Amino acid sequence: MEKEDLKFLNKGEEEEMELHAYHLCRWRLALVILGVVCTGGFLLLLLCWMPEWCVKSTCSRTTARDAEVVLLRSTDEFRRWFMARVRVILAPGSNPFHSLDIQTTSPSSPSSPSCPLSSSASSTLSNGHTSHLSDDSPAQELFRRYVDYQPTQIRYFTFHSAKYYWKDDVQNFEVLTGLEDLQISCSTLHSEHTAGLTRNEQEYRRLFFGVNEIAVKVPSVFKLLIKEVLNPFYIFQLFSVILWSADEYYYYAVAIVFMSVISIATSLYTIKKQYIMLHDMVATHSIVRVSVCRANNEIDEILSTDLVPGDVMVIPSNGTIMPCDAVLVSGTCIVNESMLTGESVPVTKTNLPNPVPGERRDEDDSTYNAEEHKRHTLFCGTNVIQTRFYTGELVKAVVVRTGFSTAKGQLVRSILYPKPTDFKLYRDAYLFLLCLVAVAGIGFIYSIILSIMNKVPAKIIIIESLDIITITVPPALPAALTAGIVYAQRRLKNIGIFCISPQRINICGQINLVCFDKTGTLTEDGLDMWGVQRAENGCFHLPEQKAYSQNLVKSQFVACMAPCHTLTKIEGQLSGDPLDLKMFEATDWILEEATEEETSLHDRIMPTVVKPPKRLLPPEPALSPEQDMELCELSSAYEIGIVRQFPFSSGLQRMCVVARLLGEKRMDAYMKGAPEVVASLCKKETVPENFAEVLEGYTKMGFRVISLAHRRLESKLNWHKVQNISRDHIETNMEFLGLIVMQNKLKAETPGVLQELRRANIRTVMVTGDNMLTAISVARDCGMIPPQDTVIIADAFSPHDGQAAKITWRYADKSCETSRLEEVNISLEDVCHVDEPKRQELYHFAMNGKSFAVIEEHFPDMLQKLVLHGTVFARMAPDQKTQLIETLQGVDYFVGMCGDGANDCGALKRAHAGISLSELEASVASPFTSRTPNISCVPSLIREGRAALITSFCVFKFMALYSIIQYISVTLLYSILSNLGDFQFLFIDIAIILLVVFTMSLNPARKELVSRRPPTGLISGPLLFSVLTQILICLGFQTITFLWVQKQPWYTVWTPLSDACNMSSHINVPDHNDTEVDEHNIQNYENTSLFYVSSFQYLIVAIVFSKGKPFRQPSYKNWPFVASVLCLYFFLLFIMFHPVESIDEFLEIVCVPFKWRVKLFLIILVNAGVSVVVETFILDIVLWKLVFSRDKQSSFGVPPAAPTPQRAIDLQTYKCQSWLCCSHQMPKARYMHLAKELSVDPDWPPKPTTTTEAKPCQKTAPSIKF
């Protein structure tokens, strides 16, 4: 197929994939089957591991339309391959949204342009249940009803629980989402989709959309076992066990089998448990009975699994758990969305606006979108607590998405099919193993040649040659590496951090940037009322602490605070948004909700009433008797009834209510929201002149400020008209009432933790949905931005009126603009010399979500530069938080994310280490969950991650040296046609290696978080130097031992009658050795000498590699390891200097002269001394520190988020390190590369009062204009 025929799925989306079409080729399949038979099934294993090889070897290329099998390849950095089988179903038509009466009768005729199968559809994923769609029974039933229609062939394939359907017009596969595919307006949804579907239409649509179910099938233990056992490591272990059994080396084979069984059983238990947890999480709404409206005005009760997009669902008055995503078209619902937002705060959902045809405007009648209209959308899995409805009417919602297309379905998909986390350690581990395989290959060839030259029997040649491979690539390596992670997971559990993805613990050791949510994470969850500042006649009053004083109770300010909210009573308790709750409680008023009977007195809904308690009402003046009765009744009945609510919209940044004071004919509109927004909707003369200064003063002190406004509505607006009026008609010409000042206190632990992270050169970033200036103030208060540093705000604007997109730059602190500007100019416009470090810790960027979206779209290159110093990202939507994480990862940061709710869910999943401070069900998606509801868990996790990572390096190095030491011993012995004995192997492999490797991993993390980071992979200078030098040392001393023993005056070729110890042979060796022939030539002086030396070498490298500082506590505090090593040292010295006949027999070692034992002891001492000196002095003092100094962010001009105590770097040290580290060479990390470029850019950072415009051609750099 030609290159231009390459298809792409989900173009431009996160899950973009290449599509390659194939059809089955029978002769290729026959050849593969023959190959499988000839290779004893090994080829089948290979094809199982490599799906692209499987498809390419059994199929041939074809067009996408005729594909029987599709090969998918992700376009991300991982470039993973997937295989999917194309299936065909028959349907009476090709468009799920058309009535069968207007469907085409020919399968080849083009579909309607509005059909999602024939026009560009949204790439949101649909559900994927092939078992339901491939079942022909519903289609056959439809065919019987519509016998005149010619069946249409629908081609599709399922991938990651999403179904992709073939579309003729675009000649590609695309996914069906739901009702949103039609791109319908709100008015169209009301006029054309609220009548309901007939049963035939429902069945017809179910052919395409499948069963409404998020099916998390828990695999059987057998399936999980097969998948786990087919892991390449376990296959290699199986090969090793078979080989050892053939060589009668049963003991270690049994030990490896035992370890493998435990490892597999643990893995199966963990995976099964996670599947069950996820299954239980989604099972709560899987099958419930729901009522739907039919096209003939009937109410039909069906199972929720039968729902399809377009069904009109009746929401029961006592509430329900939503089985799908649906948009409210009548009535109001109180919903708990903790599953999605992480906050158990009831949210009021109102019906979707339906603009009156005569007053309809384009902005009023926008295209329905679940995200934009989330205030009107009931999401799958959320709990509808109660409903409010008109008398005689039902609360109805139109189903828009079902199954895996729903919000909860997409969350479950992201958990079921996570994006792999790229970590250099694991890539390097495979490279390292390949190097060991290459070494094994050399030994394999060497042993074969040597054995043939000495005419060794073929069976022994095969076994001993293959044994070299099992020696060099240790089968116990996976278990050894897992041990360190398991210990780290246990330590994390002890400090209240739970992990569902243990492999991520190692990655935590590399984190050099942490993003924090603000509210509930850095600050306390709730807001406290600080005070109010009223405004009258265009002037501010002095701030007041209490809003419930008698002189304010009947003021418009309090009259606005009392009804302007979405609070409701649930089981007698006031419930709703915490901010609304605090604001209402500050008034000390009472909220009453009318009963259903009282509701019927009105022709519309809104029965809620708020009123002050009698004690707050001012005392009544003494009046004449005829006046007294009337006024007492009025004063005692001071109540405000809420007529209509316009809920808070994050896009509009405000909410509004229409209310009426009891006894008044005219209604009032009350509004609250972001101060700038509210002020812009008020009459200019009512807004104080110093409004901006007062507001800025509060926000800089970290307060959250809300403005209030009021408007007296026209008398012609009656109850009925208010229910249908647009909010734009209400929210205009308001009167400014003043400010409510809320305080969001920092958590006590926040400043200390951030200071600890700064000292460790770990950048900290704030990602919040709060106000920009408030976020900057909190960042300064908690120390994320030091007091002396400048904050540059980037305001980006989309293209409009023919003008290009642009960014304007301004300082957050105007009062210090002049002095700060000079400071920035002096320090940042200097030319960066190689021999002089440049201070760059003086500025931070801040931007809001809108600016972030514009910069991402129009200034992609600029975004990467901004995130290098971006510290505050305010008003960020959940998906923007995820995009920020990906941008930071795109410049090679290792990113941690700490949040307190599932609104951070995407970011928590995408980060290298996501830490949720919430234990709600949505945190299932977060790799780590902390029981401690503050950020103190972050440094703890990084410390444990670093300790686990260093432990992995130590274990890997030790296992590599163990393999090489044993490989050297066996290779040397092969040269004299000898080998290590079975029990020598057993003693080394179990008594030494397994005991040491499982105890050396127990070193706990160091309590201090140091400023250096561990290396990212095994293929790094210090680690390679460490391994290679220790290999050469061990090789040297074993070779010396092997050659020196042959030069001893007492040396002869050993026989059972040898008398090297000057003792009679019958004392040293049992009598039966005279007749018994040693086929393998195990007992000899070379074997015994190498056994002693190599046994000590294992312990030497174990001690040398078991380092404590700077990331782990010293090894002497790891008492199991110390006890194990001391016991082994004592035992080896004992059997070396005081031979015990039974032990010598068991280990098949022979007696050697005492003088030779002393010489062996000296060889071991010198070996230990050389190993320690090379590892601790040469590596740690010379190479290790220099490599770490290169890893420091400041070495390449990337500052920590704030100055560190070591801010003044010694110039001479810097020059020396720069020379030794080859500073002329560009750094590997992209953020370092960018920082190095920006450090010599005279136009960076952009100066305030400048504007950066996007050029039409993206290839050219943006221009900066004054």
Catalytic residues: 517
Helical ranges in 39-101 per DSSP H = 42-49, 51-58
Q: Phi then psi for 385, rounded to 5 degrees?
A: -80, -45
The count of other CB atoms within 10 Å of the CB of residue 422 is 13
Tokens of 28: 């290729």
Q: Hunting for tokens 């709560």 — which residue is that?
A: 284
- Residue 64 and residue 172 in contact, taking contact as beta carbons nearer than 8 Å: yes
Q: Phi then psi for 1176, rounded to 5 degrees?
A: -90, -40
Tokens of 246: 């053939």
Question: What value, to the nearest 5°, has the Cα angle with vertex 525 and ends 519 and 526?
Answer: 110
Tokens of 399: 């189903």
Using CA atoms, how far residue 698 sits from 532, 584, 849, in Å, is 11, 21, 22
Q: Phi then psi for 1113, rounded to 5 degrees?
A: -70, 155
For residue 430, give every residue at least 6 positions away whose Cβ sits within 8 Å of its Cβ, in sequence order, or none.
Answer: none
Q: Hunting for tokens 């200034």 — which residue is that?
A: 859
Reduced to 3 states (helix: H, G, I; strand: E, B; else coil), residue 417 is: coil
Strand partners, 794: 809
- Residue 1227 and residue 1236 in contact, taking contact as beta carbons nearer than 8 Å: yes
| β-pairing verdict for 763-767 and 513-516 | parallel
- Residue 411 and residue 331 in contact, taking contact as beta carbons nearer than 8 Å: no
Q: Phi then psi for 498, rounded to 5 degrees?
A: -105, 140
Q: Phi then psi for 512, rounded to 5 degrees?
A: -125, 10
Amino acid (1-letter code) at residue 986: L
How far apart (Å, rounded) are the C-alpha atoms in residues 672 and 205? 44
Question: What value, to the nearest 5°, has the Cα angle with vertex 1213 and ends 1211 and 1218?
Answer: 95
Q: Phi then psi for 30, rounded to 5 degrees?
A: -60, -40
Q: What is the DSSP string of 478-498?
A: HHHHHHHHHHHHHHHHHTTEE
The number of residues making up the chain comes to 1266
- Residue 623 and residue 599 in contact, taking contact as beta carbons nearer than 8 Å: no
Q: Which residues of 398-408 are buried (b: 16+ CB within 10 A; e: fewer)?
A: bbbbbbbbbbb
H/E segment holding residue 87: strand 87-91
Strand partners, 915: 898, 928
Tokens of 219: 């695999």
Question: What value, to the nearest 5°, has the Cα angle with vertex 16 and ends 13 and 22?
Answer: 150
How far apart (Å, rounded) are the C-alpha atoms in residues 654 and 681? 11
The count of other CB atoms within 10 Å of the CB of residue 1021 is 14
Tokens of 573: 């308790």
Q: Please choose, from the candidates 836, 953, 852, the residue with its C-alpha nearest in 3D space to the C-alpha of residue 1240.
A: 836
Strand partners, 299: 293
Q: Please choose, from the candidates 584, 657, 641, the residue with its C-alpha nearest in 3D space to the C-alpha of residue 350.
A: 657
Q: Hunting for tokens 């931070």 — which residue is that?
A: 844
Q: Phi then psi for 1065, rounded to 5 degrees?
A: -65, -30
Amino acid (1-letter code) at residue 960: A
- Residue 1086 and residue 1046 in contact, taking contact as beta carbons nearer than 8 Å: yes
The count of other CB atoms within 10 Å of the CB of residue 76 is 14
Tokens of 177: 């989402």
- Residue 347 and residue 334 in contact, taking contact as beta carbons nearer than 8 Å: yes
